Amino acid sequence: MNSGIRSTAQQWMESTIVDAKTKTEIASLLRNSDETELIDCFYKNLEFGTGGLRGIMGAGTNRINKYTIGMATQGLANYLNQNFPDEQIKVAIAHDSRNNSRFFTEVTAGVFSANGIKVYVFEELRPTPELSFAIRHLGCHSGVVVTASHNPKEYNGYKAYWNDGAQVIAPHDKNIVSEVNRIKSLSDVKFEPDTNLIVAIGKDIDEAYLACLEKLSLAPDIIKAQKDLKIVFSSIHGTGITLVPEILKRFGFENVHLVDEQAVPDGNFPTVIYPNPEEKEAMSMALKKGQELDADLIMATDPDADRVGIGVKNNHGKFQLLNGNQTGALLVYYLLEKWKANGKLTGKEFIVKTIVTTNLIEEISKGYSVKYYNTLTGFKFIAALIKKLEGKEKFIGGGEESYGYLIGDEVRDKDAIASCAMIAEMTAYAKNEGKSLFDLLMEIYCKYSLYKEDLISVTKKGKTGAEEISQMMSDLRNAPPSTLGGSEVIKLIDYKESIEKDLITRTSAPIDFPKSDVLQFITKDGSKISARPSGTEPKIKFYFSVRTSMKSKDEFDQKMGELESKIATIMKNLHL
């Protein structure tokens, strides 16, 4: 083992700042003949990325704990003090239901206050989108939410926000990272709080946030007619329980059923393997209750309630989970349909999605003559575009394939609270027309195109794995496939080189996007294949989107089977 690892661990043991419990944990690691865990805990500093921290909780420089949280907060505090030297800086902090989230929140508040920064701290767990709202509502310069999103129970994390309520972007993201990296010792961190600068918030912000969400409703008359719509909701032991039932009630829905086994916030997530609504296993209890009640709609949110998964009855009368692309397309269709019906479209509105999200959203937007934009993967880029166009164009809604959506611009991050309310409203809209939400999706497919999307993550661990991923991207970039799924590849979009190549005419054109290591292949028949190394995990992700025409919902099963076969062929073409 590298002697530096044991030396770093010993420094923590000798530090007067590190508490006795942490030292006991480190001592146990030092005594263990198997040094694997000691190495993993201390071989590097936990990286503060452009979005913040995320990692396994425990002792060590490569773990989430009081000290790594403190160092990150000190770096952010230093950056804020540099940027706003003559102001009383204010930040807001929220946290989810994870183990130690409240403790890490108090540590974060303490360090900020010790640096002369006024801190607004939610008294109890609250959804991430409410933190985004609170930053703008309270005129804060920054904000933090303590969460590890949908990661397993061993994890926790820390997301940093700027004064627009969005996660930090350039240049602040990299500048904050640089400041955090300048913190070399625990003695550089001011841990002693100034309690005079810490203010508790809660119900007052809830009320302001919920009042804004209530204004999003586009069809109160339809909800009144369908107030008995049967809804099943699960918060999967997370923060959604604090506000989703309340916003559904305020919208006018009176027949909401909670999955009681998952309604109590619990950082151990005892009923699921992963608290992720993208996973069928995490949705199983909600599906079971939906079947028992013959529900119209099933919804579940992740621990910090910024993403939502839904289930509806399909054309065979069985409950089916919709993927993020399907739900996103439904939401955009409903929003545009009602904006048009309500006479709200003026020609200055827009829709946003990420580059790996279904192109069906583009087709729908074109159908309503509404402008649409694409951004890089990550909701912070959607928020940045909303800010850029503020006062010139009006954001209606949008989202990304990973189950995150935003309606309206009061919040600047994906918002499952608002999404749950709007999904329930569009289900009521469909039912009022004598349809299910699945029927509405079939109509969209028939009117525009039937799309099928899939995602594969290839894990390559360690230094060798990182080199393999780099080589895979290099090979795809320099020797792109000529055909995929039996269709000629006609276009290569390289977001790292900021260029779009026409592979037929051999011409190129620049693209106006921030640089990112993403490649997209577009085929003659409209398929879209994207390759993107993960920024947080040792993975490379491949996104597949294929399409065909569909004349009636009776063709759905057959056509979907054909598209699934096409994706399987593309995977073989790429040797996946």
Instruction: Give tens-digit pLDDT for 402-436.
Output: 999 999 999 999 999 999 999 999 999 999 999 99
Place of tokens 């409203």: 425
- Assign 535 a pLDDT band (cuts: 50, 70, 90): low
Listed residue (388, 416, 386, 390) closest to 403, CA to CA:
416
116 C-beta neighbours (distance < 10 Å), count: 14
What pLDDT does residue 537 have? 67
Active-site residue list: 149
1, pLDDT greater than 60: no
Domain residue spans of the chain: 64-201, 209-447, 452-573
Mean per-residue pLDDT of the chain: 95
Listed residue (149, 96, 87) closest to 118, CA to CA:
87
For the residues of 348-385, what is the DSSP string, one character each?
-EEEEEETTS-THHHHHHHHTT-EEEEE-SSHHHHHHH
What pLDDT does residue 239 have? 98
The domain made up of 452-573 is a member of CATH 3.30.310.50: yes
Q: What is the DSSP letter of 472?
A: H
Mean pLDDT of 65-77: 97
Domains 64-201 and 452-573 share a fold: no
- How does 405-427 read in b/e, with b if 16+ C-beta sit within 10 Å? bbbbbbbbbbbbbbbbbbbbbbb
Mean pLDDT of 460-488: 91
Mean pLDDT of 84-96: 97
pLDDT, tens only, 485-502: 999 999 999 999 999 999
Distance CA 160, CA 145 (A): 7
Listed residue (387, 393, 350, 388) closest to 372, CA to CA:
350
Query: Are the C-beta atoms of residues 405 and 379 closer than 8 Å to each other?
Result: no
Distance CA 84, CA 88 (A): 8
Spatial CB neighbours of 336, under 8 Å, sequence gap ≥ 6:
345, 351, 364, 365, 367, 368, 370, 396
Assigned token pair, 52: 């913040």
What pLDDT does residue 573 have? 96
Q: Which CATH class is domain 64-201?
A: alpha beta
What pLDDT does residue 203 have? 97
166, pLDDT greater than 80: yes
pLDDT, tens only, 5-42: 999 999 999 999 999 999 999 999 999 988 999 999 99
Q: Which CATH class is domain 209-447?
A: alpha beta
Side-chain half-sphere CA neighbours of 266 within 13 A: 13
What pLDDT does residue 370 have? 98
Assigned token pair, 25: 């944990």
Distance CA 370, CA 323 (A): 24
360, pLDDT greater than 60: yes
Distance CA 235, CA 127 (A): 11
Range in 354-358, 525-529, 536-540, 547-551 the model is least confident about: 536-540
Distance CA 210, CA 203 (A): 10
- Assign 465 a pLDDT band (cuts: 50, 70, 90): confident
Which whole-number Å values give the CA distances from 543 to 43, 487, 529, 532, in the listed order?
Answer: 33, 17, 6, 8
Listed residue (279, 226, 247) closest to 416, CA to CA:
247
Listed residue (435, 167, 196) closest to 304, CA to CA:
167
- Assign 48 a pLDDT band (cuts: 50, 70, 90): confident
Distance CA 162, CA 353 (A): 21
pLDDT, tens only, 290-341: 999 999 999 999 999 999 999 999 989 999 999 999 999 999 999 999 999 9
pLDDT, tens only, 431-443: 999 999 999 999 9
On the question of a cis peptide bond just before residue 171, with omega within 30 degrees of 0, the verdict is: yes
Side-chain half-sphere CA neighbours of 528 within 13 A: 15
